[in-house]
Amino acid sequence: MADNRGVTYQGPARVEVSDLDYPGLVLRDGPGVHPDNVGRECPHGVILKVLTTNICGSDQHMVRGRTTAPHGLVLGHEITGEVVETGPGVEFIKVGDVCSVPFNIACGRCRNCKEGKTGICLNVNPDRPGSAYGYVDMGGWVGGQAEYVMVPYADWNLLRFPDREQALAKILDLTMLSDIFPTGYHGAVTAGVRPGSTVYIAGAGPVGLAAAVSAQLLGAAAVIVGDLNADRLAQARSFGCETIDVSQGDPQDRIEQILGVPEVDAAVDAVGFEARGHGAGAAKEAPATVLNSLMSLTAAGGSIGIPGLYVTGDPGGVDESAKVGSLSLSLGTGWAKSLSFTTGQCPVMRYHHGLMQAILHDKVQIAKAVNATVISLDDAPAGYAEFDSGVARKYVIDPHGVVGGVR
């Protein structure tokens, strides 16, 4: 019975708000659900009334037709909500709790979860380690750009906010805890950012901006953000970053002008596989550009954090190799400079409690940094189109009108 509504992928450049079944504590068959997950019972799960759910750049990769996502897939992996029903196996989470949902789904029982590697849980996706809501090849867990969503392993996965009223007052900051804030922070941490570091961040989209805020929070001496988009670069400057327009040439030259040396201590790739060239080649897609550039401009012995998404299946890839995720990397450069690389999903649970505390105690204003913009569920298709045009905003969907200030 259709007692729910959500945003669904309907083919390249097409999303719509569709009627959905109200979620239950079982994973039903549907678009993208792995056959081995159909009928999976979740007595350890809860039903959330979604308070906020954000549009992510990773969603845009699917909506552009750059993945093998099936039509009808319910989108959305950045979720904050209120618990309205708990399964019989839920012990600590209660009805009425307001919680953040890590975008990666984890069981809490497997070896990887017990080691804190919640981005590569072994038990939630029959295809490969790791899972997420509303995303292609991630097991088929239904997305949260909807009015209601089911969250499995609730006692383990959910981050409960200590005070409901305080949470609602800071909801635009707290909604970033489900993905982009921990993901940007993970990029900065794995790049080795520490007090006094010089940092270059490739990409001024929401994750790049979150990485820049995180680098500042970690005590970086200089944070430099590179992008092709003037509005997004202006957004980075609004909270104290230096910026580089990479359409004007190699970022290494500009880094030398800023720092006096042509290299940084730490670098973050917040672009991913749809990267474009630098300088005269900026109009052309060149998926290895950012990674090769970062290897060149990172100091020997340094580290590169790679929260930017890379995929194993890209129907729109520039060549046959790119279509299967095989890129022309200058790995010899990285080897010769003894660089370290960290890739993959951010293990959100490693960071989200501490970042929540930073928000609640006014140590960071992540919503302002990424220019959080509230829209209604019905305006989600327009939000996707505007985000794809390159606007310097992070769209926050408010399915029930609880946030206020809807554009």
The residue-averaged pLDDT of 272-276 equals: 88
What's the pLDDT at 132? 97
pTM above 0.85, yes or no: yes
**pLDDT confidence of residue 314:** 85
> What number is the average pLDDT over the span 128-151?
96
Mean pLDDT within 276-303: 90
Positive or negative torsion for Cα 214, 217, 219, 224: positive
How much is the average pLDDT of 137-162? 97
- pLDDT value at position 279? 84
CB 14: neighbour CB atoms within 10 A? Answer: 14
Our CA dihedral for 28, 32, 34, 35, rounded to 10 degrees, sits at: 60
> 111 pLDDT band (50/70/90 cuts)?
very high
Average pLDDT over residues 322-334: 91
Mean pLDDT of the chain: 95
Confidence band, pLDDT 50/70/90 cuts, at residue 405: low
Instruction: Write down the pLDDT at residue 311.
Output: 86
| 2-179+347-398: CATH topology | Quinone Oxidoreductase; Chain A, domain 1 (3.90.180)
The band of 280, judged by pLDDT with boundaries at 50, 70 and 90, is: confident
Candidates 3.40.50.970, 3.20.20.140, 3.40.50.720, 1.10.1270.20; CATH matching 190-342? 3.40.50.720
pLDDT > 80? residue 145: yes
| 282, pLDDT greater than 80 | no
Rounded to an integer, the average pLDDT of 314-318 is 87
**pLDDT above 70: percentage of residues in the chain:** 99
- What residues contact residue 379 under an 8 Å CB cut-off, 6+ apart? 397, 406, 407
Task: Indicate whether 376 pLDDT > 80.
Answer: yes
* Average confidence (pLDDT) over 353-381: 97
pLDDT at 297: 97
> What is the predicted pLDDT for the residue at 1?
47
How confident is the model at residue 404, as a pLDDT? 75
> Where is pLDDT greater, at 389 or 406?
389
Query: Is residue 276 scored above 90 in pLDDT?
Result: no
| pLDDT (0 to 100) of residue 27 | 96
pLDDT at residue 137 is higher than 60: yes
Whole-angstrom distance, CA of residue 143 vs CA of residue 354:
26
Q: Give the pLDDT score at 70.
A: 94
- pLDDT value at position 313? 84
Q: Do domains 2-179+347-398 and 190-342 have the same CATH topology?
A: no
Q: In the predicted model, is pLDDT for residue 118 greater than 90?
A: yes
**Per-residue pLDDT tens digits for 2-22:** 699 999 999 999 999 999 999
Residue ranges per structural domain of the chain: 2-179+347-398, 190-342
| pLDDT over 70 at 231, yes or no | yes
The yes-or-no verdict on residue 158 having pLDDT over 80 is: yes
Statement: residue 406 has pLDDT above 80: no
What's the rounded mean pLDDT across residues 247-274?
A: 95
pLDDT at 228 over 50: yes
